[in-house]
Amino acid sequence: MALFDNIDLSHLMDLVKAGLEKGNLPDSFAELPEGTYLCKVHKLEARLTREKQRPMAVWELIILNDGDYENRHVWVNQILESDTPEKTIDAWARFKRTLSTFLGGYEIDDISLITEDLIEQYILDTECSLNVKKGSKGGTFMTIGPVVEGV
């Protein structure tokens, strides 16, 4: 027995088919165009990368007032460990710069000082900007920074 056997969803499937035929269903996971977006931080979590199990910070942002993208959730991963000590130092420096955006320019030098209380008090629900750029090799780069006037 299928999960929705007891519920008539024919009207829903008709709507979906009609939307697909017209090509007008929104794609909530489509790439964001290049630009700068006003956001707020919804969540900041520590996770491990899938492949190499390296530590990373995962920022979940919500785009605030940008027409088609308003209320869209965007995830930005900042991997904190790399293949070489130099790249790891650079990754940690980028993460510290991002954090300092929310801490009035103060830079944290010890990762153990990044507590749930600090995140809740200074980072969650705080506005920021998200800068989206396309790389020369086809990748997309997203940078979190302070609010930019006029965005």
More confident: 16 or 53:
53
Check whether 2 has a pLDDT greater than 80.
no
Report the share of the chain in percent with pLDDT over 90: 58
Spatial separation of the C-alpha atoms in residues 103 and 94, rounded to whole Å: 14
Q: Are 57 and 65 in contact (CB under 8 A)?
A: no
Give the pLDDT confidence of 49-96 residue by residue, as tens digits: 998 999 999 999 999 976 888 999 999 999 999 999 999 999 999 999
Q: How many residues are recorded in the chain? A: 151
Check whether 3 has a pLDDT greater than 80.
no
Q: Which residues 6+ apart lie within 8 Å of 122 measured at CB?
A: 102, 103
Structure token digits, residue 83: 């293949």
Check whether 25 has a pLDDT greater than 50.
no
Question: β-strands 127-134, 140-145: how paired?
Answer: antiparallel
Amino acid at 145: G
